[in-house]
Chain A
Amino acid sequence: MPVILVTDFLIFLLLILASSYVFYVCKRPLLRAPWADVLKNRVGAISFTVLMFYIFIAVLDSMHFHPRISSSQEKKVVYSNEITSVFDVIASHLRTSTEKTYSAPLSAYQYSKEAAEVSNENSHRDYPRLKYGGRHLTNPNKEIVSDVFSKILKGILIAAVFWIVLLMLITFFYAHKKSSSFYAQIQQIFFSKQNRSLPTILITILVLMIITCVAVQLSFSYHVFGTDKVGQDVFYQALKSIRTGIIIGTVTTLVMLPFAITLGIMAGYFGGRVDDIIQYIYTTLNSVPGVLLIAAAILMLHVYMGNNPEQFTNITERADLRLLFLCMILGITSWTGLCRLLRGESLKLRETEYIVAAKALGVRSFVIIFRHLLPNVMHIVLITIVLDFSGLVLAEAVLSYVNIGVDPTTHSWGNMINSARLEMAREPVVWWSLSASLFFMFVLVLFANLFSDVVRDVFDPRAKKHE
């Protein structure tokens, strides 16, 4: 039985908005040109593909449902109270294979010694074998290296096969469309001077596929990134955190956009008293240090939740509401920058000839704002959305560290780092939980940053002037 959590709804809403925007853009060559420039840039194409990959996982993880409890005797279908996602089903072998406690990446043994009963009299302390990691091996010390290598090779092979099939499909599609031969089309894709975005994207997909297939192959019989204190697979946690990161990065902007756009344009277009009031509002909000405002608001939420526990029955739903609330607070603290930019731009546009002409013709202000102002400030909005994304993902980690971030039960990189903090002081060091979360976060933020650079260079008219 499908469930739609509030954040799921927002993610799907975003997807619908984004795809309708893509559809809208594709129909209009003038709007399509800058996006084609983004993809023509090699960095732009690579980062776009990687981001799509992350978003794909996040979307898979956002399709929630109550799993059906199979009961053969009764005809009645029973649904469990637990909420899982499509991604959980795909990665169910990761979710269920929990060990007792810490274990290193790709290891068959537990990380701490345990007393093992050899016979009745003498017990000795040794590293016990893991329940799931490397369980098919008889003598792990000797076999593990060759086994891992054969798994990696197998993963690469599978990825190559998938990729070639994909390449064939794409080539056939193009060959059919342009009615040219298959061979000529392959040459066209890889060696043509005009279109450089397709081969870059294809090669990025190949690299991503290899990584995915190798990781999947290994994860069936090992813990790729080890296990944490309670024996949960770290790889699974890091993958689950992708959804949280993406939600914080996108839903926050979605929440703040309406405020920023309406207030910013109103302040710039109408000026006078309206401008004063709006400026006052955003300077006031801006002058409170962001972290403190977030802390204050989240503390208040704590108080509210502590006193009204009856409204939050399901753990998943409660965590989800907290995530949404965090997005809203982050949105409130971050809309001021965009608002100021939009105010400045609409102040400038107000004096342009086409707006003056529209006014002289007696067009209503509302219509002027929607038809003439809004489309001409959209590039600023777009640049801000992309620029803010990476900062928000990073902010989540810091906020979770201070305990004012997402709910402790939500999988997130911040929570992982927070719990891994003490493990660094442990002897011997447990490094994999920390490095896995930092690595996943780093990749996402790095490509988001690179992508936003490309987008800004293409869309910002000022940047073009410098060249």
Chain B
Amino acid sequence: MYAVPILIGINLLTFVLFFVVNSPDEIARLHLGDKYVTEVQINAWKHDRGYDKPLLINTDESGMDVVTETIFFDKSVRLFVFDFGVSDSGRNIGYDIKQRMWPSLAIAIPSLIMGLLINISFALLIAFFRATYIDYWGVIFCVALMSISSLFYIIGGQFLVGKLLQIVPISGYDYGLSSIKFLVLPILISAIYGIGAGTRWYRTLFLEEISKDYVRTARAKGLSEKYILFHHVLRNALIPILTGVVAILPLLFLGSLITESFFSIPGLGSYTIDAIQRQDFAIVRSMVFLGAVLYIIGLILTDISYTFADPRLRLK
């Protein structure tokens, strides 16, 4: 139950970052643009968005209102019940998030599954041929794949598949079944992007497992190398792999920032990027909080899945 103090900490952190470091006055001035903004305009802007209350303690009110009629209560405490309020441009953030969650998931889940399958099979292949030239060059190939910027995969993929070959549209999104042709390319690219790091990481897991005593016993029994790899090593190495996946599952909701904005998919990632570029602080604040909540859910899920996957841990 370490989640609650951490969430409170994050809430305070965002509050300090967004309201104390820069006063709402300054944010308003930035939004209204030019230097010739009158005091009246600023006050009107602040009033529309509820930024005109005192920060922490409202001395004008009485009773409970002293605490509740403040920016801190209005904008920060309400996040705990997932009441995100209205964005600076006047839209309901909670509604937007619910709408945009699904396209994000439509990309994130297939690319996660595809990436997992590709990475595990490549890593198994490399582990099977360990300490040979295939292993050596395979690892160097993975490092080379890792060293290419993610932007290159996206731009190159868009250029090659979308523009030269014209198989799928370059960007855009549609709801329902027709969305598939928009989704194929981003999914493929995010899966390919993960190959380098993923394969290398899984290879070390496999190799660690292979060097354990039970594998030597299995070999001494006369089992074939292939049988050992698939029945013993793969099964045991899947424990850290799957618990690692569980940890990032909740974060899939947030989508991928870059992929979504490049392919103009209306998911949460492009939502965040748009908000950053429009300097919409209300949305960024909500996304920071949401991201933290999802991360903590991921932590809790990892703990739970460890006890399920590995009975030895339950004994302690």
Give chain A's interface residues, CB within 8 Å of chain B.
280, 283-289, 291-293, 295-297, 299-300, 302-304, 306-307, 390, 394, 397-398, 401-404, 413, 417, 421, 424-425, 429, 434, 438, 441-442, 445-446, 448-450, 453, 466
Contacts and interface: CB of A to CB of B under 8 A. Distances in A.
A446 B284 contact: no
Given A291-B272, A295-B284, 4 more contacts: A292-B287, A300-B17, A303-B22, A390-B146
B5 A295 contact: no
Nearest to B208: A466
B161 interface: no
Contacts of A302: 30, 279
A417 B151 contact: yes
Contact of A296 (B17, B143, B151, B211): B17
Contact of A450 (B9, B143, B211, B261): B143
Nearest to B27: A303
Main secondary structure of the interface of A (DSSP, over half): helix
10 contacts: A283-B2, A288-B10, A296-B18, A299-B281, A299-B284, A403-B276, A417-B149, A421-B155, A424-B155, A424-B159
B149 A307 contact: no
B163 to A, nearest CB: 8
B106 interface: no
A322 to B, nearest CB: 16
Interface residues of B, number: 52
B143 A394 contact: no
Interface in B125-176: 140, 143-144, 146-152, 155, 158-159, 163
B9 A280 contact: yes
Contacts of B2: 283
B292 interface: yes
A296 B288 contact: yes
Contact of B17 (A291, A297, A434): A297
B276 A299 contact: yes
Nearest to A295: B276
Contacts of A283: 2, 6
Given A287-B296, A303-B27, A292 B284 contact: yes
B110 interface: no
Interface in B9-40: 9-10, 13-14, 17-18, 21-22, 26-27, 29-30
B6 A280 contact: yes
A434 B155 contact: yes
Contacts of A413: 149
A413 B149 CA distance: 10
Contacts of B29: 306-307
B6 A390 contact: no
B258 interface: yes
B205 interface: no
Contacts of A306: 26, 29-30
Nearest to B289: A288
B6 A289 contact: no
B149 A289 contact: no
Contact of A280 (B5, B22, B150, B299): B5
Contacts of A417: 149, 151, 155
B207 interface: yes
B261 to A, nearest CB: 8
A466 B207 contact: yes
B295 A303 contact: no
Contacts of B159: 424, 429
A283 B10 CA distance: 10
A302 B29 CA distance: 12
A247 to B, nearest CB: 18
A291 B211 CA distance: 38
Nearest to A417: B151
A288 to B, nearest CB: 5
Interface in B237-281: 251, 254, 257-258, 261, 272-273, 276-277, 279, 281
Contacts of B151: 397-398, 401, 417, 438
A438 B153 CA distance: 11
B22 A300 contact: yes
Contacts of A434: 155
B94 interface: no
A448 B281 CA distance: 37
Contacts of B140: 450
B266 to A, nearest CB: 17
B276 A287 contact: no
B6 A284 contact: yes
Contacts of A397: 149, 151
Nearest to B292: A287
Contacts of B158: 424
A442 B288 contact: no
Given A295-B276, A438-B152, A284 B13 contact: yes
Contacts of A288: 10, 13, 288, 291-292, 295
Contacts of B208: 466
Q: Name the residue in B147, B158, B159, B208 with the highest tally of chain A Cβ atoms < 10 Å from its Cβ.
A: B147
B150 A292 contact: no
Given A292-B287, A295-B276, A446-B143, A303 B30 contact: yes
Nearest to A286: B295
The 6 closest A-B pairs by CB, nearest first: A446-B147, A289-B291, A284-B9, A445-B147, A287-B295, A287-B292
A410 B30 CA distance: 23
A401 B258 contact: yes
Nearest to B251: A289
B21 A300 contact: yes
Nearest to B158: A424
A334 B208 CA distance: 27
A287 B292 CA distance: 5
B229 to A, nearest CB: 17
A446 B288 CA distance: 32
B281 to A, nearest CB: 7
Contacts of A289: 251, 254, 288, 291-292, 295
A445 B145 CA distance: 11
Contacts of A421: 155
A449 B146 CA distance: 8
Contacts of A449: 143, 146-147
A413 B230 CA distance: 44
Nearest to B22: A303
Contacts of A450: 140, 143
Contacts of B279: 299, 302
Nearest to B280: A299
A272 B312 CA distance: 27
A286 B291 CA distance: 11
B314 to A, nearest CB: 23
A390 B144 CA distance: 12
Contact of B22 (A287, A304, A394, A445): A304
Contacts of B26: 303-304, 306-307
Contacts of B258: 398, 401-402
